[in-house]
C-alpha cells in the first residue's frame, strides 16, 4: 500500500530537526540533481575562508538587523513590500538558520533574496495556488514566498 503525503508529514514531524533537514535535502537532490562536486568543493573552501576570517577577528559579523534592513531596502527597489506577518516569519527563519550555523543563515537569506528577485523579474511564472496569490518555493530550504501581483508592486 502506498504511503500518503499526510502520513509522511506526520512521520517527519516526529523526527529531529537535523534528520528532517537531511530528508528535505535528499528529496531536493533526488528531484533536481546534486550539487556539482566542483561547486561543492568551492563552497566548502569559501565556508572555511569565512570561518577563518570570523574566528581570527579579520572580519566582524554583520548584525542580523542590519542585514534584514538591507533586504527591506532591496525589496523597495523592486517595488515590493511584505505583509507584517511575512516580515516576522522571514526574520524568524533567518534567525533560526543562523543559530544552527551563521553560514546557513546567510545562505537562507541569499536564497530568499534570489526568490524575490526571480518573482520580481517574472511574476506570472509561478503557480497560482490560491488566486490571486502565487507561490514560489525555495529548492534548498523548506520555505516559499507567497505573493500578490498588483499594478504597481508585488
Q: What is the pLDDT of residues 80-89, one digit of tens each?
A: 678 888 889 9
Give residue 22's domain range: 1-33
Output the average pLDDT for the chain: 84
Question: What are the CB-based long-range contacts (under 8 Å, 24+) for 83-86?
Answer: 86/146
- At residue 77, does pLDDT exceed 60? no
Residue 40 placed within a domain: no
pLDDT of 92 reads: 93
**How far, in Å, CA of 25 to CA of 139, rounded?**
9
Number of domains in the chain: 2
Q: Are residues 69 and 23 in the same domain?
A: no
Same-domain check for residues 4 and 79: no
Q: Determine, yes or no, domain membership for 23.
A: yes
DSSP E strands: which ranges in 26-132?
128-130
Q: Are 89 and 139 in the same domain?
A: yes
pTM over 0.85: no
Residues 20 and 69 in one domain: no
Give the span between the Cα atoms of 104 and 35, in whole angstroms.
Answer: 16
The pLDDT of residue 68 is: 66
Distance between CA 59 and CA 61 in Å, rounded? 7
> Helix, strand or coil for residue 144?
strand
pLDDT of residue 79: 56
pLDDT bucket at 97, cuts 50 / 70 / 90: very high
Amino acid at each position: 500500500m502506498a504511503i500518503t503525503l499526510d502520513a509522511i508529514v506526520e512521520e517527519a514531524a516526529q523526527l529531529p530537526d537535523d534528520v528532517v533537514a537531511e530528508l528535505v535535502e535528499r528529496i531536493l537532490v533526488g528531484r533536481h540533481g546534486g550539487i556539482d562536486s566542483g561547486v561543492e568543493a568551492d563552497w566548502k573552501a569559501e565556508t572555511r575562508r569565512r570561518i577563518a576570517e570570523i574566528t581570527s577577528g579579520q572580519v566582524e559579523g554583520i548584525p542580523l538587523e542590519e542585514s534584514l534592513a538591507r533586504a527591506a531596502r532591496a525589496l523597495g527597489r523592486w517595488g515590493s513590500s511584505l505583509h507584517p506577518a511575512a516580515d516576522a516569519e522571514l526574520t524568524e527563519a533567518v534567525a533560526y538558520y543562523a543559530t544552527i550555523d551563521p553560514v546557513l543563515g546567510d545562505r537562507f537569506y541569499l536564497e530568499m533574496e534570489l526568490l524575490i528577485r526571480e518573482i520580481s523579474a517574472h511574476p506570472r511564472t509561478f503557480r497560482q495556488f490560491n488566486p490571486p496569490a502565487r507561490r514560489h518555493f525555495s529548492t534548498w530550504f523548506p520555505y516559499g514566498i507567497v505573493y500578490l501581483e498588483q499594478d504597481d508592486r508585488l
